[in-house]
Amino acid sequence: MPKVQDTVLEQAKIEARFWTKVNKTDGSWEWIAAKAAGYGVIWVDGRLVAAHRFVYELLVGPILAGLTLDHLCRNRACVNPAHLEPVTSRENTLRGQGIAANEARRTHCPQGHPYDLFNTHISTSGERYCRQCRRIRERVRRATARTIQSATKTQLPYGAASSPAAVPATRELSPPRRAGLSELLPSSD
């Protein structure tokens, strides 16, 4: 029986120590003690615990498995449970301001084509590519390769030597002309 009483007493000491490290203002409860990556941390039962998770479980209840707490106020040091919402890790990332969140919010490629089911290719590394832009790039590349190839070929008479020295210098080759994008795209007429 004294063990339960000791546990309750220990819990009360931890809670008292916790509240001495919180600066309550009008809306935000700022953690003023130790922080790791901007998040408040506190030692509980010999291990380091995130302060916002500790207070959420203390005042609201347990956090379901697979969920993380999202700071709705965008202040990592805030421990106000009214500013915390349990969400999946993916949802938490997408709500943020990082590169992954910004890319996920993008709905069109830089040329204005939509990232939709039919126009989006997802690579093995998870990057999105616009299929329409890729088609255009491939047309330009192939047309350029054909132009260069046709410009470097010379018409030799049957049985003539194929070395450049044996070819009479009757015709000068102009540098290959690159096909423009407007010539490769289908006309809208």
| 135-138-144 Cα angle (round to 5) | 145
- Residue-level pLDDT at 106: 87
Q: What are the tens digits of pLDDT across the range 85-125?
A: 999 998 998 888 888 888 888 889 999 999 999 999 988 98
- Contact (CB, 8 A) for 73 and 80: yes
Residue 160's pLDDT band, with cuts at 50, 70 and 90, is: low
* Model confidence at 189: pLDDT above 70: no
Give the DSSP letter of residue 110.
T
Range 142-147 average pLDDT: 88
Residues of the chain with CATH 3.90.75: 2-105
Report field, pTM of the whole predicted structure over 0.85: no
In sequence order, the 6+-apart residues with CB closer than 8 A to the CB of 188 are: none
Mean pLDDT (the chain) is: 82
Give the DSSP letter of residue 81.
G
Range 146-172 average pLDDT: 62
Could you tell me how many residues make up the chain?
Answer: 189
Cα separation, 166 vs 169, in Å, equals: 9
Cα separation, 20 vs 32, in Å, equals: 9
Of 62, 60, 57, 54, residue with least CA distance to 14: 54
Cα separation, 67 vs 122, in Å, equals: 27
Q: What is the 3-state secondary structure (H, E, C) of 133-181?
A: HHHHHHHHHHHHHHHHHHHHCCCCCCCCCCCHHHCCCCCCCCCCCCCCH
* Model confidence at 16: pLDDT above 50: yes
- Residue-level pLDDT at 25: 85
- Contact (CB, 8 A) for 108 and 89: no
In sequence order, the 6+-apart residues with CB closer than 8 A to the CB of 94 are: 100, 101, 104, 105
| CATH annotation of 2-105 | 3.90.75
Residue 36's pLDDT band, with cuts at 50, 70 and 90, is: very high
- Of 4 and 13, the structure prediction assigns the larger pLDDT to 13
Residue 120's φ and ψ, nearest 5 degrees, are -115, 130
Range 133-142 average pLDDT: 92
- Residue-level pLDDT at 1: 43
